[in-house]
Structure 1
Amino acid sequence: MASYDQHSTPEDALALKNTRIFIAGDIILDTYIEGKVSRISPEAPVPVVLETGRRFVPGGAGNVAANIASVGGAAFLCGRVGNDAEAHILKGILEDYNIDTNSIIISKDAPTIAKIRVVSGSLLTSGSQQIVRIDKEKFVELAKNDEERVVKLYEKFLLQGGNRCLIISDYGKGFLTKTLITSLIQLSKQYHVPVVTDPKSEDVFRYHGSTVIKPNLNEGRSVLKILKPGFISNSFKHEIETIADCYLEASGCENLVMSLSENGVMTKGKHINGTLNIATHALQVADVSGAGDTLISFLAMSLAAQLPLSRATELGNIAAGIACGKSGTATITLAEFLDAIKTRNEAIHPEKLMPIHSLSLLISELKQQHKKTVFTNGCFDILHAGHVDYLQKARARGDLLVVGLNSDNSVSRLKGPSRPVQNAADRAAILASLACIDYIVIFEDDNPLELIKTLKPDVLVKGADYNLENTIGAKEVLEWGGSVEHISLLPGRSTSSIIQKAQLSR
């Protein structure tokens, strides 16, 4: 089994924003009719649903694109819709997500694929129950001239450069013909662009050459029955290993990532040493529909950002776990994703130390999600109870706490040549173990003014031994609408007194 250090960082998440993803596949309009059930129909033994609301969300390849756009990636959606009312609704929703829809083909022969779910209760609250699903679709294989058009659209996308990836989102509805898939993968190879494929066909060789193929466990079991009829496994591990080997051999794909429901995800192939198994990150499961779309979208963005496959799998697994906690076809935001990384890292290895450029981008993103940033700074040479009390109080002033940490040279200039007692890396590691601290940035200047001006926090915090006049950055923070707060300190606690006491006791 392959080992994995599981150190996904906020910088990994930020890297996803700088990607361009072309999604080719079957686009679906998902409709949720919500209502109350209080009686059985006198006409037939079925519940009567009093409609209270109706929601439209993109499904299929549209949901993949929505997941990419929701975290800031550039999504280019290529699929087929009909010349009908559903297409008009779907296009409006996709544009609201800021998804590029210029590559969508309007068909005269095939209607827009639609799935209508009638739900008792509300998807936004617990206890909702799906009563019935109504599907509207017609299998029409994509015409040859439309295949050629898709290939030209994809080549145009490739020529624009950037951190790119192709997603093949095959729901088996006729858009992705075998020849189209082959042409798209060949073009990707020519431009050295990774291909991530979500397969529905049991003819897995049609996806030959994909960088990653991502079946779920049920799809894997179906293919195993065809490739190895009569196979009997002696354990779950034996079964999934056999599925992976069969899938890779039969498909001719480089790597396999298989979602295993509550058992997490497994990865095997050319870019993994052995087999990588990662446990599920779902904190609670409300609905697994769409979780596969979330997983494949994060896999593609991660590979486009040139992260290793092990890291891509971990990030995709975290994202899919968040999606499972939401009802219906759902997307996640970058803020939710960052929170999930932070929550997971608290228990194992906090990755909170960040360079100023990345931290600035992160805070800007969180501001868009209406997160209030608190900033404070200090040397924190020997962490003591006064520091901890102060930092906990600072964190309570907002949604996240950023600590500016003086570099070693900065501390020496401020405190004298005998300081710091501990180097910056050690001081940062100790601070990172505190749950109240979200991110840490080391600065070289004698004061944090330039750092504050770059990060633009909402709240600037200093100890009560300061006032507005001598608080560095107070004027600037107030000018952009922030606030400055001074927190009372625990008496008699200081690094200097600890050092003096230690010296006297020698």
Structure 2
Amino acid sequence: MQPGAGRTVPGAADRPGAAPGGRAPALRVHRGTPAGRTGAAALRRGGGLVRTVRLVVVGDALLDRDLVGTVDRLAPDAPVPVLAATGSHDRPGGAALAAALAVDRGVDVTLIAPVPDDAGGTRLRELLDQAGVALCALPTEGPMPEKIRIRAGGHMLMRVDQSGVGSVALDRLPRPAAAALRSANAVLVSDYGRGTTALAGLRRVLAEVAARRPVVWDPHPRGCPPVPGVRLATPNEAELAHRVPPEDGATGRLAGVARRAGQLCEAWQIQAVAVTLGADG
């Protein structure tokens, strides 16, 4: 037998920290149901039951807007391009984007996020409904946070951020949101540093859920640390440096990142940390 025969050797794309070699299948769990009863989400297939995973995404939702046009001249009163607008496109952003992308994987998704009742919030609700995402909106002050990108010729000329005031302090999480978290098969926390992960009522329920269900936490430098017991946190290298600065004179980038990731894991009292390195995996 040739060396390595009968054994799968991972390629570069399958190494830890790299993108997987193939498209991941839709997340599904196989479990039985009580005799004589079949859940609404369960489907009969080949004599067995297949139940779609219930994923809850928690975090800061944004409304992303693209203003598209053409530029063929400069303004007469300043050396800036004049955009002749030809169209616009709205899409979910922030935690709302993570929720919409998860639906494409065949997952039942609920988003818990502050969403106001203004025009921007109404537009985001429409987009989430079209994407098949259920929304548990938390009470919030101020307008819907928006990121407006002005584009021409396939390039972004400028980005305009319109930031809302943020969410109201919640000592107790609204009952529908708490019920959604407690019934979830998995939870993703998508923190964009706008205060949602600091809510005391939310953190209490997340800590309860993290003790018995997988919770993945995507942190932000301005956000709160994960609750203890989280299964995995996914900071990028800059976010890791914000929490655990590199050591002076340290050599070996990957070894240093791994060492500081372990320190962060202990400080946060979580199970694992996966640091993303941009183009390096």
CA gap 1:202/1:245 in 2 versus in 1, 3 angstroms: farther
CA gap 1:263/1:199 in 2 versus in 1, 3 angstroms: same
Query: What secondary structure does 1:88 align onto?
Result: helix
Identical pairs, percent: 23
Within the alignment, does 1:131 sit opposite 2:131 as a pair?
no
Which among 156, 165, 178 is matched to residue 179 of structure 2? 156
Give 1:45 deviation, angstroms: 1.4
Within the alignment, does 1:65 sit opposite 2:109 as a pair?
no
Give 1:178 deviation, angstroms: 5.2
CA gap 1:23/1:158 in 2 versus in 1, 3 angstroms: closer
User: Aligned residue for 1:110?
Assistant: 142
Query: What secondary structure does 1:92 align onto?
Result: helix
Between the aligned partners of 1:116 and 1:177, the Cα distance in structure 2 is: 26
Within the alignment, does 1:175 sit opposite 2:201 as a pair?
no
Q: Deviations over 1:419-474 (max 9, x none)?
A: xxxxxxxxxxxxxxxxxxxxxxxxxxxxxxxxxxxxxxxxxxxxxxxxxxxxxxxx
Q: Deviations over 1:146-194 (max 9, x none)?
A: x5234x3344225546xx111111111122215245313322145x111
Query: What secondary structure does 1:82 align onto?
Result: coil
Between the aligned partners of 2:63 and 2:223, the Cα distance in structure 1 is: 26
Which among 218, 227, 230 is matched to residue 198 of structure 1? 218
Flag the structure with more relative contact order, 1 or 2, with Cα contacts below 8 A and sequence separation at least 6: 2
Within the alignment, does 1:15 sit opposite 2:27 as a pair?
yes
Between the aligned partners of 1:94 and 1:169, the Cα distance in structure 2 is: 16
Give matches, 1:225-304, under 5 Å: 225=245, 231-264=248-281
Decide whether the 8 Å contact of 1:204 with 1:247 is kept in 2.
Answer: no
CA gap 1:205/1:79 in 2 versus in 1, 3 angstroms: closer
Within the alignment, does 1:165 sit opposite 2:186 as a pair?
yes
Within the alignment, does 1:120 sit opposite 2:120 as a pair?
no
Question: Larger helix proportion, structure 1 or 2?
Answer: 1
Note the residue ranges of structure 1 that are not aligned, 5 or more in a row.
122-127, 265-506
Give matches, 1:13-412, under 5 Å: 13-16=25-28, 18-101=52-135, 103-107=136-140, 109-121=141-153, 128-144=154-170, 147-150=171-174, 152-158=175-181, 160=183, 164-177=185-198, 179-190=200-211, 192-201=212-221, 205-225=225-245, 231-264=248-281
Give 1:206 deviation, angstroms: 4.6
Q: Deviations over 1:7-53 (max 9, x none)?
A: 97989603358211111111100001111111111121111111122
Give 1:57 deviation, angstroms: 0.7
Decide whether the 8 Å contact of 1:22 with 1:78 is kept in 2.
Answer: yes
User: Aligned residue for 1:405?
Assistant: none
Aligned residues: 245
Counterpart amino acid of residue 258 in structure 1: V
The RMSD of aligned alpha carbons is 2.7
Q: TM-score, normalised by structure 1?
A: 0.45
Decide whether the 8 Å contact of 2:192 with 2:223 is kept in 1.
Answer: no
Query: What secondary structure does 1:45 align onto?
Result: coil
Q: Deviations over 1:105-124 (max 9, x none)?
A: 343x2211111010112xxx
Give 1:55 deviation, angstroms: 0.7
Decide whether the 8 Å contact of 1:21 with 1:73 is kept in 2.
Answer: yes
Query: What secondary structure does 2:90 align onto?
Result: strand
Give 1:209 deviation, angstroms: 2.2
Query: What secondary structure does 1:149 align onto?
Result: coil
Decide whether the 8 Å contact of 2:210 with 2:230 is kept in 1.
Answer: no
Decide whether the 8 Å contact of 2:230 with 2:271 is kept in 1.
Answer: yes
Counterpart amino acid of residue 142 in structure 2: A
Between the aligned partners of 2:275 and 2:182, the Cα distance in structure 1 is: 31
CA gap 1:56/1:202 in 2 versus in 1, 3 angstroms: closer
Between the aligned partners of 1:11 and 1:116, the Cα distance in structure 2 is: 31
Counterpart amino acid of residue 79 in structure 1: A
Give 1:137 deviation, angstroms: 1.1
CA gap 1:155/1:236 in 2 versus in 1, 3 angstroms: same
Give 1:246 deviation, angstroms: 2.5
Decide whether the 8 Å contact of 1:19 with 1:74 is kept in 2.
Answer: yes
Q: TM-score, normalised by structure 2?
A: 0.78
User: Aligned residue for 1:284?
Assistant: none
Note the residue ranges of structure 2 that are not aligned, 5 or more in a row.
1-7, 29-50
Give 1:82 deviation, angstroms: 2.0
Question: Larger strand proportion, structure 1 or 2?
Answer: 2
User: Aligned residue for 2:37?
Assistant: none
Between the aligned partners of 1:251 and 1:159, the Cα distance in structure 2 is: 22
CA gap 1:46/1:180 in 2 versus in 1, 3 angstroms: farther
Counterpart amino acid of residue 232 in structure 1: G
Between the aligned partners of 1:62 and 1:203, the Cα distance in structure 2 is: 17
Query: What secondary structure does 1:259 align onto?
Result: coil
Between the aligned partners of 1:249 and 1:4, the Cα distance in structure 2 is: 32
Decide whether the 8 Å contact of 1:81 with 1:110 is kept in 2.
Answer: no
Structure 1 segments of 4+ aligned residues over 4 angstroms from their partners? 3-12, 158-161, 202-206
